[in-house]
Amino acid sequence: MAVYTEIADEELERFLAGYELGALLSVKGIAEGVENSNYLIVTEAGPHILTLYEKRVDPTDLPFFIGLMEHLAARGLTCPQPVRNRAGEALGVLAGRPAAIVTFLEGMWIRRPRVEHCAQVGEALAQLHLAGEGFAIHRRNALSVDSWRPLFQRSEEGADTVLPELGAAILRELDHLEQNWPRDLPAGVIHADLFPDNVFFLKGHLSGLIDFYFACNDFLAYDVAIGLNAWCFEADGALNITKARALLAGYQRVRPLGADEIAALPLLARGSALRFLLTRLYDWLNVPPGALVAPKDPLEYWRKLRFHQSVDDAGAYGMDL
């Protein structure tokens, strides 16, 4: 929870009166989610999640995010479903911010993922890629290869205070990625942030995906690379090849990867590692005063990047070539 907006009582009641959810019985701020303020509200219609979109989210992107959740849910993917108010709108204004109510998903995110979780995440990611087909709105990936150099320039001055020579190493990596980034791979809607805290499990089974606020259109295999980075490394920084194999096999059971995607995987994994290194580096060097969230260690993604730099082909991730 980065920002936490206090909602005045009367304002919340007025907002909820626009919905067919009955009286409000409870509201609690949730200490999760970095970009927005989230509240678990209980009304006579049961529990729901109320989200206030804080300033890091571009309001013009909200119809994409809200529409995508509706599109995916209609195609059988378990994800929060926006609740429309009496006027038929899924997006309102509360406490001066865009706000939406979505359905409550049962399940818990897994603090220490095991191989069986990685397999299910791979499957769910492929299901998401298939379910996203036909979604009418398009959202460019604002955090893809062409954004990384300008993003780095905002942290360049402080980079070497985090690790000696880090700045020069990032510049070399930027050169390499910009020159070699694929131009033509199967593309579609990707989640782009499928970390463990965005995947719920219930009694060992994946019960839903949440937090679509980085979703965009990009190469589907780039989402797989993000998943490898997010799920398949151990706390000591080493890849767990058994987890990687399980994630990739799970994905391919639902949507087999093409030869071009498999060949590109190490480079996509480097790009994905650099993307999270750069945003974490920026957050690390720019903790706002009064911030309610501790910044995440950027060097975790530096170590992942170094690993992917040493990889020759997707066999290093347990893929049968």
138 lies in the site for its own copies, by CB under 8 A: no
SS3 147: helix
Which of 237, 238, 253, 241 has its CA nearest to residue 319?
241
User: Between 7 and 26, how does the x/- string for binding to its own copies read (CB under 8 A)?
Assistant: xxxx------------xxxx
Q: How far is the CB of 183 from its own copies (least distance, A)?
A: 41
Q: How far is the CB of 93 from its own copies (least distance, A)?
A: 18
Size of the site for its own copies (CB under 8 A): 33
Q: Which amino acid is at 34?
A: V
- Among 99, 110, 247, 278, contact with its own copies (rule: CB under 8 A): 110
- Please report, as residue ranges, which positions from 280 to 299 form the binding site for its own copies (by CB under 8 A): 290, 292-294
187 lies in the site for its own copies, by CB under 8 A: no
Q: How far is the CB of 37 from its own copies (least distance, A)?
A: 9
- Among 133, 202, 242, 260, contact with its own copies (rule: CB under 8 A): 202
Q: How far is the CB of 28 from its own copies (least distance, A)?
A: 5
- Please report, as residue ranges, which positions from 230 to 259 form the binding site for its own copies (by CB under 8 A): none
- Please report, as residue ranges, which positions from 47 to 106 form the binding site for its own copies (by CB under 8 A): 47, 104, 106
- Among 86, 138, 183, 203, contact with its own copies (rule: CB under 8 A): 203
| 31-50 b/e (C-beta count within 10 Å ≥ 16 → b) | eebbbbbbbebebeeeebbb
Smaller CB separation from its own copies, 39 or 181: 39
Smaller CB separation from its own copies, 168 or 292: 292
Smaller CB separation from its own copies, 103 or 252: 103
- Among 107, 182, 188, 315, contact with its own copies (rule: CB under 8 A): 107
Q: How far apart are CA 196 and CA 182, in angstroms?
A: 27
- Among 6, 184, 236, 312, contact with its own copies (rule: CB under 8 A): 6
Q: How far apart are CA 172 and CA 277, in angstroms?
A: 14
Contact by Cβ (8 Å): 251, 194: no
**270 contacts: CB under 8 Å, gap ≥ 6:** 173, 176, 177, 305, 308, 309
- Among 86, 96, 111, 150, contact with its own copies (rule: CB under 8 A): 111
How far is Cα of residue 150 from the mean position of the Cα atoms in its chain?
A: 21
- The pair phi, psi for residue 98, each rounded to 5°, is -60, 140
Contact by Cβ (8 Å): 68, 135: yes
Radius of gyration of the chain (CA): 20
Which of 275, 160, 144, 162 has its CA nearest to residue 216?
144
Positions touching its own copies (CB under 8 A) are 1, 4, 6-10, 23-32, 40, 42, 47, 104, 106-108, 110-112, 202-203, 290, 292-294
